[in-house]
Amino acid sequence: MSLPITGVLCNKFIEQFLNLFCSTFDGVYSCDNIPNHLVNKKTFLIVVNLSKQDNQGSHFISILKENNEVFYLDSFALPILNDDISDFIIKNNVQVKKLKHQIQSLSSSYCEIYCILFCLLKDNIMKTSKLPFFFVHEDHLQENDKLCLSYILKCIEKK
């Protein structure tokens, strides 16, 4: 079975999909629109676009807070350069962990698909402290899009 995903997905699709398949999901937000009430929660899982609400979307990341840690899950493994997200994470007053290796090719437009996978694997990420095997050498990063879609299918087939 193959997913008919041919381009960028919108916030609404991501939210509807994850609400169906991820019981701990707390929403999709633009970087300047992350709700303040999440700071007081011990656990949350969100998808955030690095663009502001009134701009066209640019890149999605996932943020998971659990056990006094924040996991900043960016498939490009970029540093946290967005001031809105940095401020939000600082308000949480917790240790921050990030992906150490880029798993998405810069030529790929599937960042939202990686976020969906990160959310679906939330329990596995916390239990094993690692994601499924992805290529990390730049010559093979494009292959990770197919792997990501395959992992998503396996996750939703189990539900």
CATH number at residue 50: 3.40.395.10
Q: For tokens 């599937």, what's the residue? A: 110
Residue 20 domain-assigned (yes or no): yes
Residue 6 domain-assigned (yes or no): no
pLDDT band, residue 126 (cuts 50/70/90): low
**Cβ contact 74:98 at 8 Å:** yes
Domain count of the fold of the chain:
1
Query: pTM value?
Result: 0.88
Residue 1 domain-assigned (yes or no): no
Per-residue model confidence (pLDDT) at position 12: 87
Quick one: average pLDDT of 14-30?
Answer: 92
Find the domain containing 41 and state its range.
Answer: 11-158
Residue 2 domain-assigned (yes or no): no
Per-residue model confidence (pLDDT) at position 51: 92
Residue 98 vs residues 1, 36, 75, 76, 80: alpha-carbon distances, Å = 32, 22, 10, 11, 9
Q: How far, in Å, CA of 106 to CA of 76, rounded?
A: 7
